């Protein structure tokens, strides 16, 4: 353990110890996705406090805990992974019923989303026990935050659908993967995929039919050789091969940007809202105009707000958006 993490343990006690941590509860703890410094103070405190730590790989987790200066006996570490999760969950439930605090961590990131943990949480809740989240590192939200894929469309009458779709790993069989990519081609939301290094070249080839659709590749997020690039889908394979084999190493998050909405695709409510918005903006501040247009038409307020900003930019108006 480095001196910096010794300080972190002390800071964790100072910052988090005053909070109540009930006994007989499962603590679902996010861990770093590559950079040890991305652990939260509350996670450090709970990992110290826990009577047992359930995890995907006990050897990996023991090494992680030792890096932070947290010592757990072998009997305090429980293997709960995709191959034994249903059975191992019952052993966790028994510990919780005895009043123990159990922390669950995956090998990296937030458990229960793409990694194991969902069955464990379901079993705990079915037994009438509590599962408490300790948020932290997530490769999905980290990649989204720098992809710029959730921005509104350039034209006020073509706002992109809000939110994003998390699709995880696409099917490995070629026919199923082809069908999944065809579905992506028509998806107007941003889509987030995960991929392993030995299959990233195949995924790039599968996405090539998306043509000029922007795709963000985030490789080795938070690690020493992190690379993030946004480029047309048709060029993904060339980008991966440009540096020999180095760019095909490491875990990938792949953000497929939204498909642009076709002309005339707006709902009747949105069309009416945009029409009212243009009239209201001539006399009212943006927020007031958006609120009234949404009330009149029933169109989504976020869509109208993005459209209002685009309209002001088109008209060259620089007055306050408030």
pLDDT one-digit tens code per residue, 182-218: 888 877 789 999 999 999 999 999 999 999 999 999 9
Beta bridge partners of 215: 231, 256
- Identify the pLDDT of residue 3: 64
| One domain for residues 88 and 214 | no
In the chain, how many domains are there? 3
pLDDT at 158: 43
Looking at the structure, tell me whether residues 19 and 100 fall in a common domain: yes
pLDDT at 150: 83
pLDDT band at 173 (very low <50, low <70, confident <90, very high): confident
Indicate the SS3 state at residue 157: coil
Residue 321 falls within a domain, yes or no? no
- Looking at the fold, whether 221 and 100 belong to one and the same domain comes out as no
Let me know if residue 158 belongs to a domain: no
Give 308-311 contacts, CB < 8 A, sequence gap 24+: 308/156, 308/277, 308/281, 309/152, 310/152, 310/154, 310/155, 310/156, 311/156, 311/277, 311/278, 311/281
Q: Residue 122: how many CA atoms within 13 Å on its side-chain side? A: 9
Angle of CA points 293, 298, 299, to nearest 5°: 75
Q: What percent of the chain has pLDDT over 70?
A: 90
Instruction: Give a yes or no: residue 97 inside a domain.
Output: yes
User: What does the alpha-carbon distance between residue 28 and residue 133 come to, in Å, rounded to a whole number?
Assistant: 5
CB atoms within 10 A of CB 67: 14
Kindly report the backbone phi and psi dihedral angles of residue 272, in degrees, each rounded to the nearest multiple of 5, phi listed first.
-65, -40
Neighbours of 107 (CB within 10 A): 16
- The pTM for the full model equals 0.76
Instruction: Between 262 and 48, name the one with better pLDDT.
Output: 48
Which CATH number goes with the domain that contains 226?
A: 3.30.950.10
Q: Domain range holding 295?
A: 268-315
């Amino acid at each position: 353990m480095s001196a910096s993490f010794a300080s972190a343990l002390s800071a964790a006690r100072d910052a988090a110890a005053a909070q109540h941590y009930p006994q007989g509860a499962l603590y679902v703890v996010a861990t770093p996705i590559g950079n040890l410094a991305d652990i939260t103070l509350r996670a450090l405190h709970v990992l110290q406090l826990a009577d047992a730590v359930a995890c995907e790989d006990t050897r990996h987790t023991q090494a992680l805990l030792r890096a932070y200066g947290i010592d757990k006996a072998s009997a305090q570490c429980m293997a709960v992974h995709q191959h034994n999760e249903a059975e191992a969950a019952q052993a966790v439930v028994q510990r919780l019923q005895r009043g123990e605090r159990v922390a669950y961590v995956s090998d990296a990131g937030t458990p229960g989303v793409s990694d194991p943990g969902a069955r464990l949480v379901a079993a705990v809740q079915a037994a009438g026990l509590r599962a408490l989240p300790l948020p932290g590192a997530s490769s999905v939200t980290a990649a989204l935050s720098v992809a710029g894929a959730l921005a509104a469309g350039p034209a006020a009458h073509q706002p992109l659908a809000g939110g994003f779709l998390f699709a995880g790993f696409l099917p490995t069989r070629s026919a199923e993967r082809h069908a999944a990519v065809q579905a992506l081609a028509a998806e107007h939301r941003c889509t987030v995929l995960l991929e392993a290094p030995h299959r990233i070249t195949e995924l790039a080839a599968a996405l090539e039919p998306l043509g000029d659709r922007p795709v963000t590749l985030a490789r080795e997020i938070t690690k020493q050789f992190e690379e993030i690039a946004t480029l047309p889908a048709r060029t993904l394979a060339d980008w991966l091969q440009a540096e020999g084999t180095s760019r095909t190493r490491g875990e990938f998050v792949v953000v497929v940007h939204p498909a642009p909405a076709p002309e005339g695709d707006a709902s009747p409510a949105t069309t009416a809202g945009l029409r009212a918005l243009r009239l209201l903006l001539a006399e009212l501040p943006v927020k007031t105009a958006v609120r009234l247009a949404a009330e009149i038409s029933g169109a989504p307020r976020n869509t109208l707000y993005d459209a209002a900003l685009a309209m002001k930019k088109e008209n060259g108006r620089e007055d306050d958006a408030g």
